[in-house]
Amino acid sequence: MLGETVNIKRVGIKYAQIIIIKEKIPYFSSDKNLFTKIESISDNDLKIYIILDLEKNEFAHKPDLIYINLIETGDEKIIENNLKIKIDRKIFNQNILFSSIKCKFSEIKLSNNFSLKTKEYLIKHSNLENFLIAFSNYIKANEYGK
CB hemisphere CA count around 35 (13 angstroms)? 21
Q: At residue 3, does pLDDT exceed 80?
A: no
Q: At residue 144, does pLDDT exceed 90?
A: no
Q: At residue 21, does pLDDT exceed 80?
A: yes
Instruction: Flag whether 127 is in a domain.
Output: yes
Q: At residue 6, does pLDDT exceed 70?
A: yes
Number of domains, the chain: 1
Helix axes 116-125, 43-54, angle to 10 degrees: 60
Give residue-wise pLDDT tens across range 85-141: 777 766 676 677 777 788 888 877 666 678 888 988 988 888 899 999 999 999 888
Instruction: Flag whether 13 is in a domain.
Output: yes
Instruction: Give the dihedral sign, CA 19/23/114/48.
Output: negative
Radius of gyration of the chain from Cα atoms?
19
* pLDDT of 40: 87
Instruction: Flag whether 146 is in a domain.
Output: no
Instruction: Flag whether 143 is in a domain.
Output: no
Q: At residue 34, does pLDDT exceed 90?
A: no
Instruction: Flag whether 96 is in a domain.
Output: yes
In contact, 41 and 20? CB cutoff 8 Å:
no
Residue 7 lies in domain: 2-107+114-135
How big is the chain, counted in residues?
146
**Greater model confidence, 25 or 92:** 25
Instruction: Flag whether 21 is in a domain.
Output: yes
Instruction: Flag whether 77 is in a domain.
Output: yes
* pLDDT of 134: 92
Give residue-wise pLDDT tens across range 41-76: 888 999 988 988 888 777 777 888 899 999 888 887
* pLDDT of 110: 62
Q: What is the model's pTM?
A: 0.76
Give the span between the Cα atoms of 28 and 35, in whole angstroms. Answer: 5
Per-residue buried b or exposed e for 41-77, using 16+ beta carbons within 10 Å of the residue's own CB: beeeebeebbebbeeeeeeeebbbbbbbbbeebebbe
Instruction: Flag whether 56 is in a domain.
Output: yes
The closest of 37, 52, 53, 66 to 134, measured between CA atoms, is 66
Per-residue pLDDT band at 4 (split at 50, 70, 90): confident
